[in-house]
Amino acid sequence: MDNDFYDFIIIGAGLAGLASAALLAKDGYRVKVLEAHTASGGCASYFKRKNFTFDVGATTLSGLGEGQPLKILLEKLNINLESLKFQKKNLAMRIFQDGTEINRYANFDLWIDELSKHFCNSAEERNNMKLFWEKLYKIESDSWKLLESNSNLLPATVADYLSFLKPKRILKNLNAIKYIPSLFRSLKKLLVEYKLEQNSKFIEFLDEQLIISTQSYVDKSPELMSALGLTYASELYYPYGGIHKLSLALENALENYGAEIQFKSEVTEIETIKMNREKIFFIKDKQDREYLSNYVISNIPLWNMVNLCSGKTRDFFKSYANKFEYNTSAFALYFAVETEEDFDELNYFQIICPELIPNCSAKSFFVTLSPKDDHEKAIPGWRSVTISTHTDANFWLNLDSETYKKKKNETQNYIFDQLFANIPSLREAEKEFISSSSSKSFEFFTRRKSGLVGGIPHSTDYNILDLMPKKVPGEKLFMVGDTVFPGQGLVATAYSALSLRETLKLNGVD
């Protein structure tokens, strides 16, 4: 038994767990983070091969603009943004569609010109295109304001609900009421409003952009989430050294504030016991270490929680696991490549293929190429590359080893073919450390059940209020991370930690 009694045990050192731990430690609580892996970061972690570093999943950063969640989080923790080498991209990404190259500029006017060039055939269409994007950007900026002034969405307690009526919030909240329908109607409705719904090439483009950010397509992705997902490229950053630099900064912050992390500690059991008439938590890990705490914050997916809890708490998680029975995972391909090419200083590309990628559930893949001068990721003259796409988790889980290898090669070869068809200079370039991962690998490295990554897709199929609340009713057990509001992505998980901290404050954990 770890002799110490903690105020908070945090399960998982993903971005949301680290952020929650650092915020609580800063406020003077005794906090311990238990992490199954040997490094933090979860889906935003890394691995090394000789002199190369590869991001395992996430590669892009956003949410660092004024009033946005990651910026607020870093400020609260006194983490100096300047000390982290995050480079804002003016040319955020290049999308290859049907033999054309679409440059996603951060600047609004340049972006509208680019869209007009590729997708509009008349002055009327160009005007509608501009109005459509103006609307998306308006929804986006109002959404950030709403999240900034209400850092405790979705409400989980009576105190959360009452807090929305605070005088300094109420005006902003009344202003936000007009966006409520945007949570329930799909982006398609907005396209109809701006007479763009018949533009099939543009719809295909939007579909493939949305699958990255909301994991849904135009006809299912809610308008509000679509607006956030389609505009994030205007505030996109490349993190030098790798995305895990953000986790490392959080790790340093939480340790500086006095919290501890126990690596190689895979939690297998969370029970409540009575001590001095108080209900407290008893937590056990795979290595038979035992911990006691007053509160538990879980940063692991809700599907994983079913097997760690018992009784009513288990039933609670089971009901959400059944409600959100998704099968979404990722296929990722990693390699180092020797090239002196500049690629217009681009680091992000999306390639839309003519058909579904073999053994996958999407027809596009996302490519991240480290910049020429990122020598933490690759030696001079070389680049580190991470490519990812969507796949069904179950497909990979029960294959015998020979079929598994064969299917992986099939997918890998197809992705390479499409990559070289669109960026021919990479075909002959020297490559090293080629490897790929599927749901099986994500299950092993992130411990996420069945390798289900990306959280719960945003969809009009369910009501946002149906999402799992961050507090388990009747328990001092809370959830953060991408399976609770606001869902997938590093910005969303940062918000979930900020939101939980606010809820705890409103409930007396000040």
Ligand X SMILES: Cc1cc2nc3c(=O)[nH]c(=O)nc-3n(C[C@H](O)[C@H](O)[C@H](O)COP(=O)(O)OP(=O)(O)OC[C@H]3O[C@@H](n4cnc5c(N)ncnc54)[C@H](O)[C@@H]3O)c2cc1C
Q: Please tell me whether residue 250 binds ligand X under the rule CB under 6 A.
A: no
Smallest Cα–Cα separation from 61: which of 411, 490, 429? 490
Q: Please tell me whether residue 506 binds ligand X under the rule CB under 6 A.
A: no
Q: Please tell me whether residue 306 binds ligand X under the rule CB under 6 A.
A: no
Q: Are 248 and 53 in contact (CB under 8 A)?
A: no
Q: What phi, psi does 168 have (nearest 5°)?
A: -75, -10
Q: Please tell me whether residue 350 binds ligand X under the rule CB under 6 A.
A: no
Q: Please tell me whether residue 332 binds ligand X under the rule CB under 6 A.
A: yes
Beta partners for 296?
9, 477
Smallest Cα–Cα separation from 457: which of 154, 217, 190? 217
CA distances from residue 410 to 33, 110, 357, 361, 370 in whole angstroms, order as listed: 40, 38, 9, 14, 25
Of 24-32, 54-62, 152-160, 402-410, the segment contacting ligand X by CB under 6 A is 54-62
Q: For residues 379 and 53, what is the distance between their CA atoms, to the nearest angstrom?
A: 10
Classify the phi-psi angles of 289: left when phi > 0, otherwise alpha if psi is within -120 to 50, otherwise beta: beta
Q: For residues 143 and 248, what is the distance between their CA atoms, to the nearest angstrom?
A: 29
Give the residue, chosen from 53, 60, 186, 459, that forms a contact with ligand X under the rule CB under 6 A.
Answer: 60
Give the residue, chosen from 8, 10, 12, 259, that forms a contact with ligand X under the rule CB under 6 A.
Answer: 12
CB of 164 to ligand X, least distance (A): 25
Q: Please tell me whether residue 69 binds ligand X under the rule CB under 6 A.
A: no
Give the residue, chosen from 143, 209, 304, 359, that forms a contact with ligand X under the rule CB under 6 A.
Answer: 304
Q: Which of residues 422-481 bind ligand X (CB under 6 A)?
A: 446-448, 453-455, 481
Classify the C-alpha dihedral 457-461-463-469 as positive or negative.
negative
Q: For residues 395 and 329, what is the distance between their CA atoms, to the nearest angstrom?
A: 10
Q: Please tell me whether residue 35 binds ligand X under the rule CB under 6 A.
A: yes
Q: For residues 29 and 505, what is the distance between their CA atoms, to the nearest angstrom?
A: 12
Q: Please tell me whether residue 336 binds ligand X under the rule CB under 6 A.
A: no
Q: Please tell me whether residue 352 binds ligand X under the rule CB under 6 A.
A: no
Which residue's CB is nearer to ligand X, number 60 or number 128?
Answer: 60
Which residue's CB is nearer to ligand X, number 261 or number 423?
Answer: 261
Give the x-and-dash track for 108-147 against ligand X (CB under 6 A): ----------------------------------------
Q: Are 6 and 291 in contact (CB under 8 A)?
A: yes
Q: What phi, psi does 352 have (nearest 5°)?
A: -95, 120
Q: Please tell me whether residue 415 binds ligand X under the rule CB under 6 A.
A: no
Which residue's CB is nearer to ligand X, number 36 or number 506?
Answer: 36
How many residues sit close enough to ligand X to count as binding (CB under 6 A)?
38
Q: Please tell me whether residue 486 binds ligand X under the rule CB under 6 A.
A: no
Which residue's CB is nearer to ligand X, number 92 or number 196?
Answer: 92
Interface contacts to ligand X, rule CB under 6 A = 11-17, 34-37, 42-44, 57-60, 266-267, 299-300, 304, 330, 332, 388, 446-448, 453-455, 481-482, 488-490, 493
